[in-house]
Amino acid sequence: MSLSNIQQSASQHLPFGDQRGARFYGTDILSVNQFSKEDLAYIFGVAVEMREMVARVGTFDLLKGKILANLFYEPSTRTSSSFTAAMERLGGSVIPIHEVKYSSVSKGETLPDTIRTLECYADVIVLRHPEKGASAIAAKYSKKPILNAGDGVGEHPTQALLDLLTILEELGNVENLTVTMVGDLKYGRTVHSLSQLLSLYNVKLHYVSPDILRMPPEIIEELNQKGISQTEHSTLEQALPETDVLYVTRVQKERFDNPEDYEKVAGAFIIDPEIMKAAKKKMIVMHPLPRVGEISMDFDDDSRAAYFRQMEYGLFVRMALLALVLGKA
């Protein structure tokens, strides 16, 4: 599906009207598996309008009076600051809890109780937590919408949405693309979400990783059942020439029990201008960031380097999601 198709289908709905508000009103955003192609068209249509509004007026009052609790149990730069920026650009405000060690969590408060507390003060809660499934637990206890900003090695659905919007904006299409995911496919929640989201389309997936960091078998199995072509590799050479999207990830050091295992695989794949000579002229390199050496800075000026542009799409997608779940899009 191309971006123009997506926008066309989104424009069948009223811009910033009640019709849109109803669709995701009060909805938790926990997993990419909750979205249909139609939902994506709808969200991206709103995100594109958010981009226009930011370009035109910067900040506006769509969510004036609404409060977001930004609850982060793990480090974050992009996700937390883009949610804050998104809320503030929409005229709302934010309770930032980035250092849970300064909150009652350090006194032993449970996640359900922390969530029950924040829902008294906020209209929507963004949660990043080290345990897989934590946002689903939070959603069980909260009457206010929960947005999963990363649950351990589980999922990162809002990242996958911005990744898909990046692909559509940069390449104009997602159907029939070859997407190569490289790096830590075992612990990387961004690739878990993105591979599942892409399985709504006709794509070909290559997975390039060290043996101990292969894509989880349950995800491969799920995508197989949907008829998605998936190939695993231990080197980049074979997949790179036909790749339209090279999605590079950081080896997730914090998930390793044994630091020696990390040392063995850190730096296994490094993207640099020399390696990229084998890639197409029209393709993109993405990375959810932070990078810790997987993409050489020498490649940053190449027009195929989309990872800095990718961050910007995150603002518009998160503005759209906040407006939608609060029924104000």
Q: Which residues bind ligand NCD (CB under 6 A)?
A: 78-79, 150, 156, 159, 189-190, 250, 288-289
- Alpha-carbon gap, residue 189 to 312, rounded angstroms: 20
- Rounded to a whole number of angstroms, the minimum distance from the CB of residue 184 to ligand NCD is 8
- Closest to ligand NCD by CB, 10 vs 164, is 164
- Alpha-carbon gap, residue 258 to 283, rounded angstroms: 36
- Rounded to a whole number of angstroms, the minimum distance from the CB of residue 191 to ligand NCD is 9
- Closest to ligand NCD by CB, 45 vs 183, is 183
Residue type, 77: T
- Alpha-carbon gap, residue 38 to 28, rounded angstroms: 17
- Rounded to a whole number of angstroms, the minimum distance from the CB of residue 5 to ligand NCD is 27
- Rounded to a whole number of angstroms, the minimum distance from the CB of residue 122 to ligand NCD is 21
- Closest to ligand NCD by CB, 153 vs 275, is 153
Closest CA to 324 of 148, 69, 90, 149: 90
- Closest to ligand NCD by CB, 78 vs 214, is 78
DSSP-H helix ranges across the chain: 3-10, 18-24, 37-57, 78-89, 111-121, 134-141, 157-171, 189-198, 217-225, 259-265, 307-325
The position carrying tokens 């949660």 is 127
- Rounded to a whole number of angstroms, the minimum distance from the CB of residue 32 to ligand NCD is 14
- Closest to ligand NCD by CB, 62 vs 160, is 160
User: Which two structure tokens, joined as six digits, stand for 39?
Assistant: 């939902």
- Closest to ligand NCD by CB, 41 vs 191, is 191
Whether the CB-CB separation of 157 and 29 falls below 8 Å is answered with yes
User: Which two structure tokens, joined as six digits, stand for 57?
Assistant: 């007026």
- Measured from the Cβ of residue 327, the count of other Cβ atoms closer than 10 Å reads 16
- Rounded to a whole number of angstroms, the minimum distance from the CB of residue 288 to ligand NCD is 4
